[in-house]
């Protein structure tokens, strides 16, 4: 019974737009790339990684602020559409950002503040993703 409930819930999240297959491909490639990275990553690399002059605390705080600002904006947008209809393209972005992207920014931010080597490793990609979000909102 639990499995059917989860499957029904997942079907309810499917929002079809002209770009649905592109979103699906990106999600699939991302998941398999992450799994491949996790399976092939050598943990000893992180133990040997020494970046002494990196402004980790500042970088971590910036990531957490970006996540908090966008979470607030997205929740306010959702609340503004309660009782109305949220555009499908916005709904996809909001769901992905609130479920995956913004929590990732917070996690990497905390790793950086705590001076964890995994934060150093993930920071460049996460900052690139955060820049893409900020630029996308600025242009949009």
83 — alpha (psi -120 to 50), left (phi > 0) or beta? left
Cβ(80)–Cβ(17) under 8 Å? Answer: no
Give pLDDT tens digits along the chain (140 positions). 556 544 444 444 455 556 666 766 776 777 777 777 767 777 777 666 666 777 889 999 999 999 999 999 988 888 887 777 777 777 777 888 888 889 989 999 999 999 887 888 888 888 988 888 888 778 76
The pTM is what?
Answer: 0.67
Packing angle of the helix pair 56-80, 117-139 (nearest 10 deg): 40
Q: What is the CA radius of gyration of the chain?
A: 18
> Token digits for 99?
């479920």
Looking up tokens 């491949």 gives: 36
∠ CA(62), CA(65), CA(68), 5° rounding?
155
């Amino acid at each position: 019974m639990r499995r059917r409930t989860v499957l029904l819930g997942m079907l309810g999240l499917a929002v079809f737009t002209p770009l649905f297959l592109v979103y699906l491909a990106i999600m699939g490639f991302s998941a398999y790339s992450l799994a491949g990275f996790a399976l092939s990553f050598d943990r000893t690399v992180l133990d040997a990684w020494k970046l002494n002059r990196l402004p980790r605390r500042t970088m971590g705080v910036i990531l957490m602020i970006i996540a908090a600002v966008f979470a607030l904006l997205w929740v306010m947008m959702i609340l503004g559409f309660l009782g109305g209809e949220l555009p499908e393209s916005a709904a996809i972005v909001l769901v992905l950002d609130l479920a995956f992207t913004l929590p990732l920014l917070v996690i990497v931010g905390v790793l950086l503040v705590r001076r964890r080597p995994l934060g150093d490793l993930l920071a460049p990609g996460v900052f690139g993703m955060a820049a893409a979000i900020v630029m996308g909102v600025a242009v949009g």
